[in-house]
């Protein structure tokens, strides 16, 4: 069983050009290096997975006693970003202490990228739910208000799930089926086609996309 993903940091967007001059927008991700901190098995946990930690500097006082012991058991340095990734069938067996690098992925592979979207704070219905809004002129007093949220006679209440103003963003988002357009093994960089969630400097998880059924 082998790891089918990696942890990384979104660095920003750029573009590369094909031989015919076509510009391809892509996102640069510092993918790894990662270390396997814990191994989940079918015998003890009921599923096959590996807990990866992204190797980066972190002050020891930033890590509580429980996580310090957890990393010490794996003989690994403390890490800020730790996530579990399921395993895929492979001849190579994943063990605690194994390194996962950007070269784990190949040019042209299709991946899914998970991250936390940018937080937008409290937003109204026009921005949050793309309400059309009312007229902007001719004495209209209805511009960006939400409008009716439930009739007075029926249903005489607000239905659950009704689109309303509120907190927008800062949610887990997965963008699927992005193509790997470049792999820089020396600098641990991956370039994936298109945009991925989160701000520059945000943590992301990259995993191989599941084949279509």
Q: What is the pLDDT of residue 212?
A: 63
Q: What is the pLDDT along the chain (213 residues), one digit of tens a residue?
A: 678 888 999 999 999 888 888 899 999 999 878 888 888 888 888 888 888 888 888 888 888 888 888 888 888 888 888 888 888 776 777 778 788 888 888 888 899 999 999 999 999 999 999 999 889 888 988 999 888 888 889 889 999 999 999 999 999 999 999 999 988 888 889 999 999 999 999 999 998 887 765
What is the spatial distance between Cα 99 and Cα 7, in angstroms, rounded to a whole number? 12
CB within 8 A of 167, min separation 6: which ones? 121, 122, 123
Q: What is the pLDDT of residue 213?
A: 55
Please report the beta strands in the chain, taking only residues with DSSP state E, as ranges in sequence order.
Answer: 2-3, 5-17, 23-31, 34-40, 49-54, 82-88, 99-100, 110-116, 121-123, 166-168, 172-184, 189-193, 203-208
Domains by residue range for the chain, with CATH: 2-138+162-208 (2.40.30.10)
Instruction: Please state, in angstroms and rounded to a whole number, the distance separating the CA atoms of residues 175 and 209.
Output: 10
How far is the first Cα of the chain from the last one, in angstroms, to the nearest whole number?
A: 22
What pLDDT is attached to residue 120? Answer: 94
């Amino acid at each position: 069983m082998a790891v089918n993903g990696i942890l990384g940091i979104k660095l920003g967007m750029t573009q590369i050009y094909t031989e015919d001059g076509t510009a391809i927008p892509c996102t640069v991700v510092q993918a790894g290096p990662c270390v396997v901190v814990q191994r989940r098995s079918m015998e003890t946990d009921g599923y096959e997975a590996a807990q990866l930690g992204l190797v980066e500097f972190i002050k020891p006082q930033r890590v509580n006693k429980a996580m310090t012991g957890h990393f010490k058991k794996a003989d690994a340095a403390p890490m800020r970003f730790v996530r579990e990734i399921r395993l895929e069938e492979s001849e190579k067996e994943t063990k605690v202490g194994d390194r996962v690098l950007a070269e784990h992925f190949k040019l042209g592979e299709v991946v899914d990228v998970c991250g936390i979207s940018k937080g937008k704070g409290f937003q109204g219905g026009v921005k949050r739910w793309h309400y059309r809004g009312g007229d902007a002129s001719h004495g209209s007093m209805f511009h960006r208000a939400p409008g009716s949220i439930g009739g007075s006679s029926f249903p005489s209440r607000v239905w659950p799930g009704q689109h309303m103003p509120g907190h927008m963003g800062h949610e887990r988002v997965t963008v699927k089926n992005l193509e790997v357009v470049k792999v820089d093994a020396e600098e641990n960089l991956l370039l994936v086609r298109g945009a991925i969630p989160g701000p520059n400097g945000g943590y992301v998880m990259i995993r191989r996309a599941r084949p279509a059924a």
